[in-house]
Amino acid sequence: MRVFVTGATGFIGSAIVQELITAGHQVLGLTRSDAGAKSLIAAGAEVHHGNIEDLDSLRSGAAQADAVIHTAFNHDFSKFLANCEQDRRVIEVLGSVLVGSSRPLIITSGTGMGNTVPGQPASEDAFDEHHINPRKASELAGAAVAASGVNVSVVRLPQVHDTEKQGLISYLITVACEKGVSAYVGEGLNRWPAVHRFDAARVYKLAVEKQQAGARYNAVAEEGVPLKTIAEVIGKGLKIPVVSLSPEEAVAHFGWLGGFAGLDLPASSALTQQRLGWHPTGPGLIADLENMRYF
């Protein structure tokens, strides 16, 4: 297949491009920069110039493809609500090109959208449309374009990691450097799910090959790593104290992440592994945190 990939030069997208090409697919990668174009060419992909704000470039890219994988997202969390609404528009635009065809559109969401019962792992078959997280806009947009006849499926991501980046945990490291302490909330028993980025890339590849309309996949290798364990590894790596904060202190300490840092968000990938024949093999989150360069 010829697959149009948004976010093709990003942390996750670049791994997806590599996975698709290795599997024999052609890739048309979206990029806004000359440097991005060079990296795509080096990877063996075709270049499509544009960005998620240029809706015409999105329409043009989708029109040239047999399938679309959408991973691009503005990660400026000071504008998170606006960025989620932008993602809704992007999904609607991509979907408008695919109406009336069987060409799959794979969109991206977070595993938290499936956390409907406190303390229980998020499930692929669960979705809380009233979730307080504005990222629900992505899945609501996917459902809307699916209702118009588009073959949509969703890949939900946890904390995606390697030894360079670890999703929101990279921000925890930045805060720890600034504050001189590595912190967790309360007893630190709340759990965050995780997956290595190459394992996540295989989920997208398998999803686009499966072409199962309406499917949701949790790209989860580890159901939940306790925040205290994460904070302890960061503290060891930075050689700084590890401290517990109250929920009120966490808001001041972590800034925009303060309300999230204490949430228990385990997630299961049992159905994803069964439905896709996917089995994660990459290093775990703690192993990557232990092996990263902190200075």
Give the tens place of pLDDT for each residue, 67-92. Answer: 999 999 998 887 899 999 999 999 99
Residue 287 lies in a domain: yes
Indicate if 61 and 173 belong to the same structural domain.
no
- The CATH number linked to 111 is 3.40.50.720
Whether residues 56 and 83 fall in one domain: yes
Mean pLDDT of 86-114: 96
Q: What are the respective helix, strand and coil percentages of the chain, to the nearest 5?
A: 45, 20, 35
- Residue 241's domain spans which residues? 161-193+223-266+282-291
Q: What is the CATH number of the domain that holds 238?
A: 3.90.25
DSSP three-state, residue 11: coil
Q: Provide the number of structural domains found in the chain.
A: 2
Going by C-beta distance under 8 Å and a sequence separation of 6 or more, which residues neighbour residue 49? 30, 31, 32, 37, 57
The confidence score (pLDDT) of residue 218 equals: 98
Q: 88 and 65 in one domain?
A: yes
Instruction: Provide the mean pLDDT of the chain.
Output: 96
Q: Is the pLDDT of residue 128 over 90?
A: no
Q: Is the pLDDT of residue 162 over 90?
A: yes
168 plus 209 within the same structural domain: no
Percent of the chain topping pLDDT 70: 100
pTM of the model: 0.96
pLDDT of residue 295 exceeding 80, the answer is no
CB 242 within 8 A of CB 253: no
Other CB atoms within 10 A of residue 179 CB: 13
Q: Are residues 166 and 212 in the same domain?
A: no
